């Protein structure tokens, strides 16, 4: 069928690499003078820092040492470069050190988070943690076999339900914005942006105010799913819209010219062409909400027991599990701390996996390049 | 497919066309039933966003009305937050102040680092490093707030208190760093610096860094290559190019990105709730290094489970204030970013 050919054709489009195409092409020559200057500055700064920090002043601590070393290094680079090449070039070298440091500073916490959560969560992560609940677990004994099985199942159900709500609605909204259009499109786009910025706890308050205070619903997993779907909706809509915009107009026109209706064009040409990009939208939406805690505090009560039914009774979720261990822990209870870190490790691993999947899909398709 | 509305073309309209009259004629379109359903469903989905946003505002007003009526104008001036199921004394003033203090600390850290990161990615990094580096910065945005919170409290805090004490001891003459001990007299000790708004601000800075950096990166990358090459050809250094071409061009992106970050920082909930000790004394909130710190969102999260009656309504009213403030900040940011020719790709 012609339509199928069109879609395969669409997916065979060469990937656009519009990333920084306009960047200046520059002869990258390693200047030996410059390299030696930097090495010299680093060594001189190290020696001076050791002298000042360890001998002359009463400071201590590795963090302070590294910071002083870094500051001295920047000063030395500037001074040495100024002596050799003058003030203008020296300033250039100094700015390069500062800008490079900013990028490094941005990534150090990421490394610290991943390493510390893994280190502290790993040893508590036995099979029992993934298969038990807190039904009989005692916070006093390491061997009572508490686990987060009930929370993991709860999380999967809650996120799954919010997906069932947000994905169709978000994709349809994107279809409206991109394929149908009209006077309402601009306000919808603006409010989607506004919605992506509402504090997550406000989404929880809203569901509570509308459905729970009015006694339409109880504080169940389903209420939590509704709150999460409000947060997921703008992410799905915006990603899907970007993806649909990149479907070539020629495909739509070809389909319409062959006599398809608009609906058939959207269903058989536009959406299949953008399929991988739409999957990315879903993955990003899930990644957005899977770690959300604030709305669940308001709309779900949390539980120590297994409850497979999100529509009745209390239910737990992984973020709530971690939050509860953190908030209710008294003093230095090592058992709850171990549960907390193991839960955090599982959550972080889930998020990282989703992130990698989203990036891999994003790189593969025409439609999914994101900022 | 934008199809124009039906217009009847009568014989009187048909006349010899001059070139200036050469405008497209609207064509009458009749749609099949399936298309009418399709368009109606599409409109419905689009409208759902509008309706949802309106409903969120409406219901927060409805449920918060009790508390605002009870507290009157005092709701905006009272600093204590002691609502009881029957009433009590509560006002948003201290919470709002605390929210802004944390957001400002976050911006002070996040904006320079974001500008540096964005410049590094667009101007300095070798080509092969750009994409992975961008992904890693974006990954900061994917880490859940909850994990930032427990990391901040358990890993960062034991190290940060020394920095706070150092700043307080040596730079106490600078008003924000002036710190009095919790007991009210005597020298400060390390415990006086734990659970502070400063620590919360640092953690929030990490969380808003990716969105700030993403906006700035987009704008910096659009700096005209011709002007950059021109500056280099005139003998400018790389810093000269950045100072005279990239930064002036990207000013709107820097301001807009910072404001988007501010909007996110104001609404940050769980990380702040896990770190600060929630004081409502204005004095404590202004001394950022000291134990204390508070925010609207953190207060809602921490006191929700015990709230009932008027207390619930008070929290709803607090949520309404937060909702309105973040909407205003984000609308401003959207306006500025839009004007600086970069509206695209401001998400994760």
Per-residue pLDDT at A164: 95
Q: Which residues on neighbouring strands pair with residue B196, listed in sequence order?
A: B291
What is the DSSP secondary structure assignment for residue B24, as one 8-state letter? P
For B276-328, what is each residue's pLDDT tens digit? 988 888 888 888 888 888 999 999 999 998 888 899 999 999 999 999 999 99
* Of A159 and B7, the one with more pLDDT: A159
- A216-236 pLDDT, tens digit per residue, is 888 889 999 999 999 999 999
Q: Answer whether A188's CB lies under 8 Å from A282's CB.
A: no
Chain B 125-154, CB below 8 Å of chain A: which residues? 125-127, 130-131, 133, 135-137, 139-140, 142-151, 153-154
The B residues from 17 to 36 touching A (CB cutoff 8 Å) are: 31-32, 34-35
State whether residue A292 sits within 8 Å of chain B by CB: yes
Residue A63 has its nearest CB partner, among B159, B209, B345, at B159
Residues from chain A contacting residue B312 (CB–CB below 8 Å): 213
Closest chain A residue by Cα to residue B208 = A106
- Measured distance CA(B255)–CA(B215) in Å, rounded: 10
A99 CA: distance to closest CA in chain B (Å): 5
Tokens 């605390």 found at = B98
* Cα A239 from Cα A236, distance rounded (Å): 5
Residue A108: CB atoms within 10 Å = 10
Q: Helix/strand/coil (H, E, C) string of chain A?
A: CHHHHHHHHHHCCCCCCCCCCCCCCCCCCCCHHHHHHHHHHHHHHHHHHHHHHHHHCCCCCHHHHHHHHHHHHHHHHHHHHHHHHCHHHHHHHHHHHHHHHHHHHHHHHHHHHHHHHHHHHHCCCCHHHHHCCCCCCCCCCHHHCCCCHHHHHHHHHHHHHHHHHHHHHHHHHHHHHHHHCCCCHHHHHHHHHHHHCCCHHHHHHHHHHHHHCCCCCCCCHHHHHHHHHHHHHHHHHHHHHHHHHCCCHHHHHHHHHCCCCHHHHHHHHHHHHCHHHHHHHHHHHHHHHCCCCHHHHHHCCCCCCCCCCCCCCCCCCHHHHHHHHHHHCCCCCHHHHHHHHHHHHHHHHHHHHHHHHHHHHHHHCCCCCCC
Those of residues 329-368 in A touching chain B at CB distance below 8 A are 340-341, 344, 347-348, 351-352, 354-355, 359
- Interchain CB distance below 8 Å, A263 and B35: yes
Of the partner residues A173, A230, A294, the one whose CB lies closest to the CB of residue B301:
A294
Nearest C-alpha in B relative to A178: B1
For residue A261, count CB atoms less than 10 angstroms from its CB and return exposed for 0-12, middle for 13-18, buried for 19 or more. Answer: middle
- Tokens representing B76 are 């905006």
pLDDT reading at B173 higher than 90 = no
User: Do B216 and B257 form a contact (C-beta atoms < 8 A)?
Assistant: yes
A254 touches chain B (CB under 8 A): no
In this model, does residue A266 exceed pLDDT 90?
yes
Provide the pLDDT for residue B175: 84
Q: Check: CB of residue B105 under 8 Å from CB of residue B152.
A: no
Flag whether pLDDT at A178 surpasses 50: yes
Instruction: Please indicate whether, in this complex, the C-beta atoms of A293 and B121 are within 8 angstroms of each other.
Output: no
Q: How far is B20 from chain A (nearest CA, A)?
A: 27
Beta-carbon pairs below 8 A across chains A and B: 302
What is the mean predicted confidence (pLDDT) over B258-267?
92
Average pLDDT over residues B21-32: 76
Segment A22-50, tens digit of pLDDT = 444 555 566 778 888 888 888 988 888 88
- Shortest alpha-carbon distance between residue B316 and chain A (Å): 7
Q: What is the mean pLDDT of chain A?
A: 83
User: For A27-31, A316-320, B225-229, B241-245, which range has the lowest pLDDT when averaged over its residues?
Assistant: A27-31
Supply the pLDDT for residue B119: 94
CA B165, CA B170: separation in Å to the nearest integer? 8
Query: Nearest to residue A297, comparing CAs of A277, A319, A280?
Result: A319
Which residues in chain B are closer than 8 Å to A23, comparing Cβ atoms? 122, 127, 221, 225
The residue assigned the tokens 């099985």 is A149
Q: Is the pLDDT of residue A370 over 90?
A: no
Determine the average pLDDT of the residues in A71-88: 90
Q: What is the complex's ipTM, to 2 decimals?
A: 0.85
Structure pTM? 0.85
Asked whether the beta carbons of residue A209 and residue B270 sit closer than 8 angstroms, the reply is no
The phi-psi region of residue A269 (left if phi > 0; otherwise alpha if psi is between -120 and 50; otherwise beta) is: alpha
- Residue-level pLDDT at A28: 55
Residues of B in contact with A200 (CB under 8 A): 145, 267, 269
| Residue B204 to residue B268: CA distance in whole angstroms | 7
CA quadruple B298, A216, A193, B212: dihedral, nearest 10: 20
- A179 inside 8 A of chain B by CB: yes
- What is the distance in angstroms between the Cα of A90 and the nearest Cα belonging to chain B? 10
Smallest CA–CA distance from A368 into chain B, residue: B345
Residues of A in contact with B48 (CB under 8 A): 169, 173
Q: Which residue of A has its CA nearest to B317?
A: A205
pLDDT at B345: 36
Quote the CA–CA distance of A295 and A225 in Å, as a whole number: 9
Coil, strand or helix at B78? coil
pLDDT tier, A20 (very low <50, low <70, confident <90, very high otherwise): very low
What is the pLDDT, as a whole number, of residue A52? 81
From residue A311, give the alpha-carbon distance in Å to each of A109, A307, A364, B262, B291. Answer: 39, 10, 38, 37, 42
Encode A184-215: b = buried (16+ Cβ within 10 Å), e = exposed.
beeebbbbbbbbbbbbbbbbbbbbbbbbbbee
In chain B the beta strands, taken as DSSP E runs, fall at 81-84, 87-90
Please state the rounded mean pLDDT for residues B248-255.
Answer: 88
Binning pLDDT at 50, 70 and 90, where does residue A326 land? confident
Tell me whether A216 touches chain B (CB under 8 Å). no
Task: Give the three-state DSSP class for B18.
Answer: coil
Tally of CB atoms within 10 A around B335: 12
Is pLDDT at A18 greater than 80 in this prediction? no
Distance CA B200, CA A143 (A): 35
Contact B347 A326 (CB under 8 A): no
- Taking an 8 Å cut-off on Cβ atoms, the answer to whether A191 and B49 are in contact is yes
The CA distance from A354 to A300, in Å, is 24
**Is B237 close to A230, i.e. CB distance below 8 A?**
no
Mean pLDDT of A115-140: 82
Q: Does the pLDDT at position A272 exceed 70?
A: yes
pLDDT of B271 strictly over 90: yes
């Amino acid at each position: 069928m012609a339509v199928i050919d069109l879609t395969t054709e669409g997916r065979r489009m060469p990937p656009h690499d519009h990333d920084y195409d306009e960047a200046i092409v520059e002869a990258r020559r390693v200047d030996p003078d410059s390299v030696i200057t930097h090495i010299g500055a680093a060594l001189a700064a190290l020696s001076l820092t050791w002298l000042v920090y360890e001998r002359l002043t009463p400071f201590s601590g590795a963090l302070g040492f590294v910071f002083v070393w870094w500051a001295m290094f920047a000063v030395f680079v500037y001074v040495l470069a100024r002596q050799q090449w003058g003030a203008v070039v020296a300033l250039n070298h100094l700015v390069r050190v500062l800008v490079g440091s900013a990028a490094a500073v941005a990534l150090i916490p990421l490394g610290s988070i991943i390493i510390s959560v893994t280190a502290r969560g790993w040893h508590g992560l036995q099979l029992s943690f993934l298969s038990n609940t807190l039904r009989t677990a005692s916070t006093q004994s390491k061997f009572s076999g508490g686990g987060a099985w009930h929370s993991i199942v709860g999380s999967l159900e809650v996120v799954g339900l919010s997906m069932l709500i947000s994905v169709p609605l978000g994709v349809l909204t994107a279809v409206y914005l991109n394929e149908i259009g009209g006077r309402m499109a601009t306000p919808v786009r603006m409010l989607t942006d506004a919605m992506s910025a509402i504090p997550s706890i406000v989404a929880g308050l809203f569901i509570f105010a509308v459905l729970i205070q009015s006694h339409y619903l109880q504080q169940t997993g389903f209420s939590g799913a509704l709150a999460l779907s409000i947060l997921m909706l703008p992410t799905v809509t915006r990603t899907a819209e970007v993806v649909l915009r990149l479907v070539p107009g020629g495909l739509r026109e070809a389909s319409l010219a062959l006599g398809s209706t608009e609906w058939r064009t959207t269903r058989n040409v536009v959406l299949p062409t953008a399929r991988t990009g739409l999957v990315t939208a879903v993955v990003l939406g899930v990644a957005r909400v899977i770690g959300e805690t604030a709305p669940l505090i308001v709309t779900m009560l949390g539980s120590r027991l297994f409850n497979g039914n999100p529509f009745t009774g209390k239910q737990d979720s992984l973020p709530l599990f971690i939050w509860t261990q953190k908030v209710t822990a008294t003093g230095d209870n090592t058992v709850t701390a171990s549960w907390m870190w193991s839960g955090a490790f599982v959550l972080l691993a889930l998020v990282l996996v989703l992130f990698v999947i989203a990036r891999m899909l994003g790189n593969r398709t025409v439609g999914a390049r994101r900022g | 497919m934008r199809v124009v509305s039906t217009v009847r073309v009568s014989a009187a309209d048909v006349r010899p066309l001059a070139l200036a009259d050469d405008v497209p004629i609207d064509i009458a379109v009749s749609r099949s039933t399936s298309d009418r359903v399709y368009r109606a469903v599409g409109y419905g989905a689009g409208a759902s966003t509008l309706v949802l946003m309106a409903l969120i505002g409406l219901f927060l007003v409805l449920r918060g009305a009790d508390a605002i009526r009870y507290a009157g104008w005092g709701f905006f001036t009272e600093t204590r937050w002691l609502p009881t199921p029957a009433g009590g004394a509560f006002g948003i003033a201290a919470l709002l102040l605390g929210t802004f203090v944390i957001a400002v600390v976050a911006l002070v850290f996040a904006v320079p680092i974001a500008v540096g990161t964005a410049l590094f990615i667009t101007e300095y990094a070798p080509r092969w490093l750009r994409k992975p580096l961008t992904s890693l910065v974006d990954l900061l945005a994917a880490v859940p707030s909850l994990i930032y919170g427990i990391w901040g409290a358990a890993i960062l805090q034991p190290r940060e208190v020394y920095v706070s004490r150092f700043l307080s001891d040596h730079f106490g003459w600078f008003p924000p760093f002036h710190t009095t001990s919790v007991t009210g007299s005597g020298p400060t000790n390390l415990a006086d610096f734990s659970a502070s708004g400063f620590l919360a601000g640092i953690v929030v800075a990490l969380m808003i860094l990716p969105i700030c950096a993403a906006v700035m990166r987009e704008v910096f990358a659009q700096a005209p290559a011709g002007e950059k090459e021109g500056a280099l050809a005139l003998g400018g250094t790389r810093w000269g190019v950045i100072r005279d071409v990239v930064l002036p061009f990207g000013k709107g992106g820097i301001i807009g990105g910072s404001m988007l970050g501010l909007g996110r920082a104001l609404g940050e909930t769980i990380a702040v709730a896990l770190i600060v000790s929630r004081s409502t004394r204005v004095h404590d909130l202004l001394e950022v290094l000291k134990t204390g710190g508070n925010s609207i969102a953190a207060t809602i999260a921490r006191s929700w489970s015990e709230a009932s009656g008027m207390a619930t309504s008070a929290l709803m009213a607090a949520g309404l204030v937060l909702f309105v403030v973040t909407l205003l900040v984000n609308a401003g940011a959207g306006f500025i970013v839009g004007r600086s020719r970069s509206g695209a790709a401001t998400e994760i």
